[in-house]
Amino acid sequence: MACEMACGYHRDDGFALLSSCIMVTRGREKKDYYAVVVKEEENLVIARPEGLEIRKLRSTGEDDKGREKEDASAKPLLLREPCDLCSDRKEGPLCLQFCPVNAIYME
C-alpha cells in the first residue's frame, strides 16, 4: 500500500491511489491471500505468494477463468499509465524505496 502511495506521488506530486501503476490486491483478506500487481507497457506482472506470473494485457487464457471476480480489486489498474520505473528519478523506483516491509525488489 505504501508502494501505491509512493507511485501515486510520482504521478501526481500529492498522495492518492488513483494513478498508481502498482497495486496490492486486497480483495481476499479473509483468506489472507494478497498479490502485488504492476502494470507494464504490454504486461501485467503479478507476484503471488506461490510465484510470479507475467500476463499479456488483454489475454483471455484458460487460466483466467473463474478469477475475474476475485481479481476485481485490481481492475482499475488496467486503465492506468504503465510503470516507467520512475525514470526521472536517479535513485530508481519510489515504490521500492518506500515499501516498509521490504516486500518488493527489482531484478
Partner 1 sequence: MEYLASNKIAIIDLANSKITEEKLDEDLVRERMGGVGITQTLYERFKDEEPIVLGSGLLTGTLVPASALGMITAKSPLTGKLSHAPLTLYGGMELKYSGFDYMVIKGNAPKPVYLWIHDGIADINDASEVWGKDVWTSTDLIRESLGDLLIQVLGIGKAGESESDVAQVLINYWPSGDRWGFGKVFGLKKLKLVALRGMTLLEISDPSGFVGKCKELLLEVKKGPSAGKGGIGDLSAALGEDIQKWLEPIVHSHRSCFNTPYPTNTFVFLEEEPKRLEESKKNEPGFLITDLYALIGFKKLGLSASEACAVLRECARYGVDAMAVSELSQKSGKKKLEEIKKSFSTLKGSLESIGKGRFSPWAPNLGLSPAEWERRQAVAYIFGIHPIFIQLSPELSEERLIELANIGTGLEFTSETLEEVISDITK
- What's the closest the beta carbon of residue 28 comes to partner 1, in angstroms? 7
DSSP letter, residue 21: S
8-20 CB burial, b ≥16 within 10 A, e <16: bbbeeeeeeeebb
Residue 37, classified by CB atoms within 10 Å of its CB into exposed (0-12), middle (13-18) or buried (19+), is buried
Binding site for partner 1 (CB under 8 A): 1-2, 5-6, 9, 12-18, 26-33, 48-50, 70, 72-73, 97-98, 100-102
The nearer residue to partner 1, 5 or 45, going by C-beta atoms, is 5
- What's the closest the beta carbon of residue 39 comes to partner 1, in angstroms? 17
Is the CB of residue 24 less than 8 Å from the CB of residue 33? no
The nearer residue to partner 1, 9 or 85, going by C-beta atoms, is 9
The nearer residue to partner 1, 12 or 42, going by C-beta atoms, is 12
Tell me the C-alpha distance between 96 and 102, whole Å. Answer: 7
- What's the closest the beta carbon of residue 57 comes to partner 1, in angstroms? 21
